[in-house]
Amino acid sequence: MSPRTAEQYEKIRAEKQKLIMDVAIEIFAEKTYQGASVSMIAQKAGISKGLLYNYFESKEDLLKEIIKSASQKVWQYFDPNKDGVLTKEEFIFFIRKGIQVIKENINYWKLYLTLVLQPLVIDIVKSDVDDLAKQYGKMIFELFKRSNMKDPEGELLLMSAMLRGAIIQYVTVPNLFPIDKFESKIIEYYFEKL
């Protein structure tokens, strides 16, 4: 009966906040940010609309928080190591890990994709992600060059297109796209080339 400690409250808050965000990702991915209503999210999360506004300032704020937090979670695995140099093994790992992360967060990626397709609406998303993408791009380019590829830039283009396309396809129709076969294939491809 003793009042909860500050930490307990903090924990409860954090959990409820996560719950709301998880539910929101799902609904946003299914219905679009604009097509989803705050009521739907509150209802599916089992809380009142009022309480949702206790945790997030607005619907847009909720979206921003989702992107912020999910970005962190998703991209943490790819923090480039200190030296900024990518070995062949690290590159293979990067692909494997990347595909795994996507498999585990389909809805987030779906949401992410709908968002990047509306440049005017959301610029938040880009900034973070773009930086990382550039760094990686550079490192992979260097790897390709070191491996004596004829046209490292062109190869980079093909590679990123391949990955991106596979993600889209997988995220859109998970059951129809053989992500595992794709994974072996692309790894086999670069294993030989590098």
Query: Which residues are near DNA by CB under 7 A?
Result: 1-4, 6, 8-9, 12-13, 16, 36-39, 47-51, 53-54, 57-60
Please enumerate in sequence order all residues whose Cβ is within 8 A of that of 44, keeping only pairs 6 or more positions apart, or say none: 23, 26, 27
Site string for its own copies, 6-45 (x = CB under 8 A): ------------------------xxxxxx----------
Taking the CA atoms of the chain, what radius of gyration do you get in angstroms?
20
> CA of 180: how far to CAs of 106, 171, 187, in Å?
15, 13, 11
- Supply φ then ψ for residue 28, to 5 degrees: -60, -45
Task: Report what 121 binds from DNA, its own copies, none; CB cut-off 5-8 Å by kind.
Answer: its own copies
Residues 120-139 within binding reach of its own copies (CB under 8 A): 120-121
Would you say 21 or 36 has its CB closer to its own copies? 36
151 to 170: interface string for its own copies, x by CB under 8 A: x-xxx-xx-xxxxxxxxxx-
Q: Which does residue 72 bind out of DNA, its own copies, none, counting CB within 5 to 8 angstroms by kind?
A: none
The site partner of 81 among DNA, its own copies, none (C-beta below 5 to 8 Å per kind) is none
At 56 the three-state DSSP class reads coil
Q: Is the sign of the CA dihedral 165, 166, 170, 171 positive or negative?
A: negative
Contact 55, 20 (CB under 8 A): yes
Q: Which is nearer to DNA, 1 or 117 (CB)?
A: 1
Buried b (16+ CB within 10 A) or exposed e, 64-80: bbbbeebbeebeeeeee
Instruction: Give the nearest distance from C-beta 19 to its own copies in angstroms.
Output: 19
HEC assignment per residue over 172-185 = HCCCCCCHHHHHHH
Binding site residues, its own copies, CB under 8 A: 30-35, 110, 113-114, 116-121, 151, 153-155, 157-158, 160-169, 171-173, 178, 181-182, 184-186, 188-189
